[in-house]
Amino acid sequence: MVSLQVSPPSLSLRNPNFNSAHCFSPMKTPSYVAPNFNHIQFTYPFNSPNFLRFNIIYPISHFGRGRFNCKAIKDSGEEPKATLDFEGGGGGGGGGGDGGDDDQVENKSSTSTLLPEWLSFSKDDVATVFAAIAVSLAFRTFIAEPRYIPSLSMYPTFNIGDRLVAEKVTYYFRKPCAKDIVIFKSPPVLQEVGYTDDDVFIKRVVAKEGDIVEVHEGKLVVNGVVRNEKYILEPPSYDMAPIRVPENSVFVMGDNRNNSYDSHVWGPLPAKNILGRSLFRYWPPTRIGSTVLEDGCAIDKQDVSPAS
């Protein structure tokens, strides 16, 4: 208990008739001045010869949460006087010992609040973060990854800014088919002119290994059969001599045939350079949908129309 008392020199007894009004009504000592509790120790004069001083037994700076209790003491033959008691939140124990403990608690709490709560990590948190990163990298490497379209070479199928998901599982079980839209890193012939493995392209497969492909009078001809390509922007304005696609390679072209840097310029693409197959466009929202044609690999099993 920490006490602040107006203490006369003589022994005091509690006033049995005291009530709470004594705590809130002014004292009758004419020269009494209300104490200021912002100081550690202070003395205010009273005209009464018996009054000595206010003495704060416990430092104000160490007050924690608590409350003040008002009691009364009385000298013989005099009116009741107010006694102000302070009960701290910690409770119990002597003033000096409690003060030391409070210092230690304050120091510990200030140290523990140097960092925000959300920056406190446990071993389990760190393990979870690393596991999430590992799963994410594995997913992108072996299953699927998002891609961004930077050019118009595949227009109107893809526009600049479109975003798609390229899946990588299909080609673990089969080879690329005609009409597949593939994502691939630059082949050796392009790296010789300045491209790197970090440069990624997107084109449509038009012929697979062993096929003979040519462009004649604005039409794509594969194995002597004209391909019906409703997805291209316009017929090609160039001719291309027949080329046999080598083993473990494919022939790729952009849907924007007259504005595409593709196999008709630099030749067949090694299949090992293929990173994945375009599966789904997720941006923009107005064009969300699959990028896989319904007939898929069926084009490799049947002719569309004979070449004339």
What letters, b where the CB count within 10 A reaches 16 and e where it falls short, cover 137-175? eeeeeeebbebebebbbbbebbeeebebbbbbeebeeeb
One-letter identity of residue 256:
N
Tokens 């008739």, residue?
Answer: 17
Q: Indicate the pTM of the whole model.
A: 0.59
Instruction: Look up 122 and say whether it is catalytic.
Output: no
Q: Three-state SS across the chain?
A: CEEEEECCCCCCEECCCCCCHHHHCCCCCCCCCCCCCCCCCCCCCCCCCCCCCEEECCCHHHCCCEEEEEEEEECCCCCCEEEEEEEECCCCCCHHHHHHHHHHHHHHHHHHCCCCHHHCCCHHHHHHHHHHHHHHHHHHHHCEEEEECCCCCCCCCCCCCCEEEEECCHHHCCCCCCCCEEEEECCHHHHCCCCCCCCEEEEEEEECCCCEEEEECCEEEECCEECCCCCCCCCCCCCEEEEECCCCEEEEECCCHHHCCCHHHHCCEEHHHEEEEEEEEEECHHHCEECCCCCHHHHHCCCCEECC
> Would you give per-residue pLDDT tens digits along the chain (308 residues)?
444 444 444 444 444 554 544 444 444 445 555 555 444 444 444 455 555 454 444 444 444 445 545 554 555 555 555 555 555 554 444 444 444 454 444 454 444 556 577 667 788 877 888 888 888 787 777 788 999 999 999 999 999 999 999 999 999 999 999 999 999 999 999 999 999 989 999 999 999 999 999 999 999 999 999 999 999 999 999 999 999 999 999 999 999 999 999 999 999 999 999 999 999 999 999 999 999 987 767 766 654 444 44
Candidate list 10, 151, 153, 278, residue with the active-site label = 153
Burial of 238 from C-beta contacts in 10 A (0-12 / 13-18 / 19+)? exposed
